[in-house]
Amino acid sequence: MLEAIKKQNKPIALFVDEAHDLSTQTLVSLKRLMDLVYSNDCKLAVILAGHPKLSNDLKRPSMEEIGARSQIFYLNHWVENKLHYGSWLFEQCCSKDVTQDDIITTEAMELLIESLVTPLQINHYLSRSLEQGYTIGVKPITPDIIQSVLVPDLNSSTAELSRHGYNIQTLCEILNARPSEVRAYLQGQLNPNKAQDFTKEIHKLGIV
């Protein structure tokens, strides 16, 4: 890679998606790569894109050497404009002679947008709603159809943690617990004292 960067003779940007899944060793290796590039009079910027877990990882004392050299940006602006996102989505998908109102009612679209958190969720459940409407022969899509495809535990602690990049394995490491204990905690079946300890640790993540 260093030889390729030298050959380009220009600043290079390396984008890493799903970076919340990177191990500490991988992050350290990326830093060493940057150091190596700079020591050879070249420029390399590493852009890590991921869930909020990535930000929390970079703030750990053990990651200070990397976190102190990082600039963190939060892309939360879209949350305030979810309805605009929905409109934009239809503009990209519909032909010019078809409007959003032809496909889904305003009330149904508002219910869908307000019930969900991420663009991925909106795309997924909008597709499911359209499939359901087609199956039962309903057009435009109504709030009842939206409600029928939304899963009951969409806003549960488990779903919230998952959206922020914390899966069972990651939670086991943070809580120093076995997978069975973490699952029992998320299902509300862990003994109260241990559950309280887990809750305190999870609250430190600033998520739920």
101 by Cβ neighbours in 10 Å (0-12 / 13-18 / 19+) ranks as exposed
pLDDT band at 3 (very low <50, low <70, confident <90, very high): confident
pLDDT band at 207 (very low <50, low <70, confident <90, very high): low
Whether 208 shows a pLDDT value over 60: the answer reads no
Confidence (pLDDT) at 78: 66
| Mean pLDDT of the 119-134 span | 90
User: Is residue 79 very low, low, confident or very high in pLDDT (cuts 50, 70, 90)?
Assistant: low
Residue 156 pLDDT: 74
Rounded to whole angstroms, how far apart are CA atoms 183 and 186?
A: 5
